[in-house]
Structure 1
Amino acid sequence: MELSSSAALSEPHQNFAEMNFMSHREISYKVRKEINHQALAVENSTGEKIRNLKSLLWKPQKLFYEQTK
């Protein structure tokens, strides 16, 4: 019983530790990937407007990446 409960408690900490060791580049990539996924989903229903929004979303990502080089 004690082993299974301690294993269950350590699992969230391992996930948190993995996040701490992710590089800024990996985090930025995941954010951009999610932005693109969300933007494509909206683009299917609205068309042209989302392309302008998408270009605006890339600017902060570019600035973030340049600051973390």
Structure 2
Amino acid sequence: MAKAQDFRAMTVDQLDDELLKLKKEQFNLRFQKATGQLDNTSRVRLVRRDIARIRTVVTTKRGEAAAKV
């Protein structure tokens, strides 16, 4: 689990890449849960929260960039 401060240090492109990676992991975790192979159920919650953190930081950064223009 990363902190929002770690995400704020990244660029928007890096955040988009990280978001894509987390969404793939979320999909794989859902698939494992459906097939009964998921061992660490708490990981689902952590991934979901990291996705929310990244989306919040990206929205903030894009809003700041739009305000400067």
Look at both structures and tell me which one has the larger radius of gyration over its CA atoms: 1
TM bucket (normalised to shorter chain) is 0.3 to 0.5
More helix by share: 1
TM-score (normalizing by structure 2): 0.41
TM-score (normalizing by structure 1): 0.41
